[in-house]
Amino acid sequence: MGKSKEIKTYSDLAGDGGSDIMGQVIAHKAKIEANLSGIKQVIAVGSGKGGVGKSTISMYLASAFNRLGKSVSLLDADVNGPALARFAGLTDAPLIPGQNGLIVPKTKSGIGVISFGSLVPESEAVDFKSVASGDSHVWRATKEFSTLADFLADTDWGKLDYLLIDLPPGAERCFQFAEFFGHKTSFILITIPSEVSQGVVTRSIAAIKKTPSPIIGYIENMSGYYCIDSQEVKPLFPSGNAKLDIPLLGSVPFDPSVAEHCDRGTVINYANDSPTNISLQSIATKITNTLEV
């Protein structure tokens, strides 16, 4: 047997091993900040709980802001399970580099959407190359964050009133994203009335409060069921309404046509006077008044 190779550990490295890793991180953060400087408000839409309507509310809020005459784009931070490209009808929109960075695909009404759903068809997994096969779980979160950092730094966002960021599920992720985006990004939390959802969202709020990131308030989604036949909002969950320790921005009933428009990618054409739409429009107005944008 030959002499075994000497295995080095991190403690054998002098300083940062010559990588200037801290310098690189600081430079990248500065690049992101400079690239977002034309945006008046960056708002992350999170929850912690999965499937409560983060992506749906993000898309509809963007649409409601658009109707108020605000310029708005969306960043789908759910790299793993992107939804916004489909909701916006932009699954076939290519992401093309332009002179000042990645060109943001837009809906007919002018809402910009950056989503992995425009890059990777639903029939394919979103894969990140790992340095060692079988170890992708080690790299995954790091790769996801570095991909998002690249989207933030290298996209030509232009001048915007709002950039809405649709977060993936996971209570611990709210904390990670709050740290990642920094204190200039405000949070809106989405819950449904169930106690289990309120429990997870309460945990997320506690996590965000450990950071300097401001929380604007919460939206109660699926607060009831809008029956198109009787045009009434009927109870959906037995637990009554959600009560969290942050301002309530509004309650949004479940409306089957909303689910249909999401699936079909026709959200933007949809502006009727259902209680769901009226509520989302009034939430957008409330946010606009609160943030004075």
Ligand X SMILES: Nc1ncnc2c1ncn2[C@@H]1O[C@H](COP(=O)(O)OP(=O)(O)OP(=O)(O)O)[C@@H](O)[C@H]1O
Footprint of Mg ion (CB under 5 A): 54-55, 83
Shortest CA distance to 168 belongs to which of 226, 96, 115, 106?
Answer: 115
Query: Is residue 83 a contact point for ligand X (CB under 6 A)?
Result: yes
Amino acid identity, position 253 = P
Residues in contact with ligand X, counted by CB under 6 A, come to a total of: 21
Q: What residue 72 binds from Mg ion, ligand X, none (CB within 5 to 8 A, per partner kind)?
A: none
Binding residues among 265-284 for ligand X as defined by CB under 6 A: 276
* Given 39, 255, 265, 267, the residue binding ligand X (CB under 6 A): 255
Amino acid identity, position 179 = E
**Which distant-in-sequence residues (6+ apart) come within 8 Å of 227 by Cβ?**
233, 234
For Mg ion, the closer of residues 58 and 277 by Cβ is 58
Binding residues among 144-173 for ligand X as defined by CB under 6 A: 168-169
CA distance 176 to 42: 16
For ligand X, the closer of residues 152 and 258 by Cβ is 258
Query: Is residue 258 a contact point for ligand X (CB under 6 A)?
Result: yes
**Which distant-in-sequence residues (6+ apart) come within 8 Å of 280 by Cβ?**
57, 60, 61, 63, 64, 250, 252
CA distance 142 to 136: 10
For ligand X, the closer of residues 16 and 122 by Cβ is 122
- The site for ligand X (CB under 6 A) is made up of 50-56, 78, 81, 83, 168-169, 221-222, 252, 254-255, 258-259, 262, 276
